[in-house]
A and B are shown apart, each in its own frame.
Chain A
Amino acid sequence: MSAFSAIGDDREIDRDEFTPGIEPQATWCPGCGDFGVLKALKQAMPEVGKNPDEVALFTGIGCSGKLNSYFNSYGFHTIHGRSLPVARAAKLANPELEVIAAGGDGDGYGIGGNHTIHTARENHDMTYIVFNNEIFGLTKGQTSPTSPKGHKSKTQPHGSAKSPIRPLSQQLNAGATYIARTAAVNPNQAKEIIAEAIEHDGFAHIDFLTQCPTWNKDAKHYVPYTDVQQSDEFDFDVSDRKEAAEMMRKTEERLYEGEVLTGRMYVEDERPSYGQEKRAIGEMPEEPLAERYFDEDAEWERTYDNLLEHHK
């Protein structure tokens, strides 16, 4: 019997299984977009047939980082900006786990920006949800990497002189193989996108627009929004890099002009995931490494027998 019998269990899953006994109202403000992510994520789980014990959710720090307090699965609430490297190793150590990472825009595009780029570049098979509220929530409303140019905050009282980061384009260039934008105000689309991202074999990046009514005084709710897949105006091929790049450029520009475009922006199915690449070159075992520690028949060689010869 596998040491991880929860993995691959194909019973019917009820989304309530993902609700722990504690309430998100404990930390999230009324009207916060984070509720929308939580809801969509919970709804996606029965759809992809995952049970709480086979999902490992890794978060960063911020209001967004509290996600796994309210999501009943294995969880690791790491440190600011570092959810991805922790999650990556978990996936390598046990590729059968469903690995999801989440955090805010400060978390993923600011302090953890380097990890975000490298995780996409390596195309780890995991889903990364960035709660993009264009602000630092938990530390009380400072300017974030996605705040618009000219944004005024207590730390930038004269208005930010910086242009916002373009996360979709950045992740396309970095190498992510599934890129989408959705919004908390659109739970159905969000659920579908999360489910697709989980099923995608490779790094799936979701820029999830979440309103922060407390600190983003314009109280952006990202409505009305347009689903680019539903609109005739945006006829493009999501598997074509060039067309995707152009679509992302439009999406990112128009957001700051008040037009909210959402939907799948890029889907690449051909590229093998990092784990597959590593296995192909013999740098990763076929069986999940984590299983070995529970396998009584596993052989643990002494280095004496293998390595000392050339020191003699």
Chain B
Amino acid sequence: MTDNELIWRIAGGSGDGIDSTSQNFAKALMRSGLHVFTHRHYPSRIRGGHTYVEVRAKDEDVQSRGDGYNFLLALGDSFARNPQDEAYYGKEELKPLYENFDDLREGGVLLYDEGLLDEEDVEEIELEEAAEENGWHVVPMDLRGIAKEHGREIMRNTAGIGATAAILDIGTEEFEELIRQNMSGDMQEANLNVLQDAYEAASELDIDHDIEVPEGSHDEEQVILSGSNAISYGALDEGCRFISGYPMTPWTDVFTIMSQHLPEFGGISEQVEDEIAAAALALGASHTGVKAMSGSSGGGFALMSEPLGLAEMTETPIVLVEAMRAGPSTGMPTKPEQADLEHVLYTSQGDSARVVFAPANIRECYTQTRAAFRIAYEYQIPAIVIYDQKIQGELRNLPASHFDEEPNADPGSVLTEEEIQDAAHHASGKFQRFLHEPEDGSNVSPRSVPGQKDGRYLATGNEHTPEGHISEDPNNRIAQMERRLGKLDDIRADLDENASHQAYYGPDEADYGILVWGSQQDTAFEAVDRLNENGHSVKALGVSDMAPYPVEEVSEWLDSVDQALVVEMNATAQFRGLTQKEIGKYGDKLSSLLKYNGNPFEPAEIVDGFESSINGEELAATNMKYLPAAGD
């Protein structure tokens, strides 16, 4: 376990302000020069229940949530009480305290709000015994009392931050600054007082512990944001000005962010009656010449399957976001899983031509959303950005300069009116929108948009002739199919030339490989570091292009290792299946480490899984599954 790091967990009921408090905590640490990463855990419940957020801070790039944590701030669930201060649900109120015992590291600090929790109840959960056994430093404080004294009870959060700052000896300067920035008037003053009071009260307690908060210093200005922010900003930078959607967790995040910002950028956002309509509207906007996006999560994306096929057949560019959560069906709405890969690759009828990118982290959420737009509009093809509830919810810092790229509003292969005059027209006057063999030798036949003079054509989901007339002529069918599918080769070549989305990690030469995709990538990279420290010889490859698949890149990499373990968050090894299908060999080289209990991998689990796989041992942990190589 890595020393010299802080993993601070704040726990309470949903609605207790856990999210905003943790965001501020992370931001303050970032401003003080540290690298930060947050991990959210929340139940499918709006108020009450048990929810927590972890903030991990180090003096170097943080790749994952880490294993366990070393500081707990347990606020208690305020929604478990009735207004007369009597507990509603027995021990429910205490959940944020005792539900978090499992992962608190030895020697960790446990700060809880004794102002909210009854002493007798706390005795009953045998906190003292557990603390003794694990060497925890238990700090009960009346956070609620301090908050009430200077402001309102809800400011327990601020009191918790003040006390945390004292116990960790990190000062309150950055927190004060944030309070000044985010609040004004009485609220600001009350919060500042609560912060100071709690800080002083905790300083007097003189608690000794061994958590060392590292000192860090960035050499560049940093920003802290979520995967959904990064996807939204990528879309905006690519000139996306139209979004249509229907809420579904976790896709709602991107939809909300875009809806809030589009009007200020002169764009349009539409919340519509269902996901079929959502995708259909995006198609309509794109057909008319506007860069458009829609998206959903599993069930909602299922409804988009028909409009998705229509986009392919009519060669209408469109970007769809698929934010995965655990399925099938409604599944586990607030839990991440990587089990919709086959769904996005294969849904909709017919031989399909679509692009699928799976960004692995917040950095890639931005760059690959931009790539998705560029490819979609240049090649007139639907592009899907698939990510999951984990990346959606976590915050991570990165240099602000990462976003300092020129915008690209180019709507791709749309002709101007003058160009339309020179382009091919059918005898009926229709513009030849779907040429069998475009003049530049590419597979992209340029398009017109409604309202342009002499650009009339018919876009139809039926197979069609160059001007869009419905046709079942066999030769026309072959020509159109080949052109549409041929774009995938062009796109692969384009990506190979302009931007490899694959991430190589670890030494150049190694005996073993870990192959990973999406949100589990950076956790696997951290595991690779530890494995190599433990004397193994391991490298990793994170693949982001799901379609068209980077066959050559992955084959070469697989050639260079003896065995590879494919790490993914689903039960049926979907990415391994895709890799074998695309590459056509290596069935004997690829084994799988799978997890599908609703929680992402921790680095230590990948380390354990890897070690037992190469030692030929059974996995000790029951929350994961090992699937051996199947042979060619």
Contact = CB atoms under 8 A, between A and B. Distances in A.
B618 interface: no
A122 B462 CA distance: 30
A89 B461 contact: no
B451 A6 contact: yes
A254 B15 CA distance: 57
A302 B451 contact: no
Given A290-B290, A300-B239, A303-B237, A85 B280 contact: yes
A306 B284 CA distance: 28
Interface in B453-511: 453-462, 468-470
A72 B430 contact: yes
Interface in A6-33: 6-7, 9, 20-22
B453 A283 contact: no
B452 A3 contact: yes
Contacts of B427: 21
Contacts of B268: 92-93, 278, 283-285, 289
B462 A77 contact: yes
Contacts of B277: 82, 85, 114-115, 118
B226 to A, nearest CB: 9
Given A75-B458, A79-B461, A114-B274, A89 B282 contact: yes
A93 B290 contact: yes
A90 interface: yes
A304 to B, nearest CB: 4
A90 B287 contact: yes
Contact of B405 (A72, A97, A302): A302
A251 to B, nearest CB: 27
Contact of A69 (B314, B461, B469): B469
Interface string B256-288: 000001011111111011101110111111011
Contact of A53 (B283, B405, B456): B456
A5 interface: yes
Max count, chain A CB within 10 A of own CB: residue among B291, B428, B451, B452? B451
A77 B458 contact: yes
Nearest to B260: A307
A160 interface: no
B233 interface: yes
Interface in A55-90: 56, 58, 61, 66, 68-69, 72-79, 82, 85-90
Contact of A4 (B269, B409, B428, B452): B452
A54 B451 contact: yes
A158 interface: no
Interface string B227-256: 001000100110101101000000000000
Contacts of A66: 470
A82 B280 contact: yes
A75 to B, nearest CB: 4
Nearest to B314: A76
Contact of A289 (B266, B278, B284, B450): B266
A53 B453 contact: yes
Interface in A277-312: 278, 282-285, 289-290, 292-294, 298, 300-304, 306-308, 311-312
A52 B456 contact: yes
B273 A114 contact: yes
A92 to B, nearest CB: 6
A189 interface: no
A96 interface: yes
Interface residues of B, number: 80
Given A289-B290, A304-B400, A308-B223, A20 B430 contact: yes
Contacts of A58: 284
A93 B288 contact: yes
B306 interface: yes
B46 to A, nearest CB: 25
Contacts of B266: 285, 289, 292
B272 A85 contact: yes
B451 A290 contact: yes
B406 interface: yes
Interface string A90-126: 1011101100000000000000001101100000000
Contact of A78 (B261, B274, B461): B461
Contacts of A289: 241-242, 266-268, 285, 290
Max count, chain A CB within 10 A of own CB: residue among B221, B269, B289, B470? B289
A278 to B, nearest CB: 7
Max count, chain B CB within 10 A of own CB: residue among A4, A88, A283, A307? A307
A93 B281 CA distance: 10
Interface in B384-423: 400, 403-411, 414, 416-417
B272 A118 contact: yes
Given A20-B428, A72-B428, A304-B403, A86 B283 contact: yes
B308 to A, nearest CB: 10
Contacts of A307: 233, 236, 261
B306 A308 contact: no
A292 B291 CA distance: 11
B417 A77 contact: no
B310 interface: yes
A308 B264 CA distance: 15
Given A86-B283, A97-B288, A302-B406, A311 B458 contact: no
A119 to B, nearest CB: 9
Given A290-B290, A308-B403, A283 B284 contact: no
A218 B266 CA distance: 54
Contacts of A301: 265, 407
Given A86-B281, A282-B263, A312-B223, A292 B241 contact: yes
Contacts of B451: 3-4, 6-7, 53-54, 56, 74, 94, 96-97, 290
B534 to A, nearest CB: 37
A290 B288 contact: yes
B457 A74 contact: yes
Max count, chain A CB within 10 A of own CB: residue among B292, B307, B452? B452
Contacts of B225: 311
B76 to A, nearest CB: 30
A274 to B, nearest CB: 10
Nearest to A111: B276
A293 B413 CA distance: 12
Contacts of A118: 272-273, 277
Contacts of B400: 304, 308, 311-312
A90 B453 contact: no
A304 B404 contact: yes
Contacts of A69: 458, 469-470
Contacts of B461: 61, 77-79
A304 B407 CA distance: 10
Nearest to A278: B268
Contacts of B284: 58, 76, 85-90, 93
Given A3-B416, A302-B406, 9 more contacts: A75-B456, A76-B458, A79-B306, A85-B281, A90-B450, A93-B288, A115-B277, A292-B266, A303-B233
30 contacts: A5-B452, A21-B428, A53-B455, A54-B450, A72-B429, A73-B456, A78-B283, A79-B306, A79-B309, A79-B310, A79-B461, A85-B281, A86-B281, A86-B283, A89-B242, A90-B288, A92-B270, A290-B290, A290-B449, A293-B414, A300-B239, A303-B233, A304-B400, A304-B404, A306-B265, A308-B400, A311-B225, A312-B221, A312-B222, A312-B400
Interface of B: 221-225, 229, 233, 236-237, 239, 241-242, 244, 261, 263-270, 272-274, 276-278, 280-285, 287-292, 306-307, 309-310, 314, 400, 403-411, 414, 416-417, 426-430, 449-462, 468-470
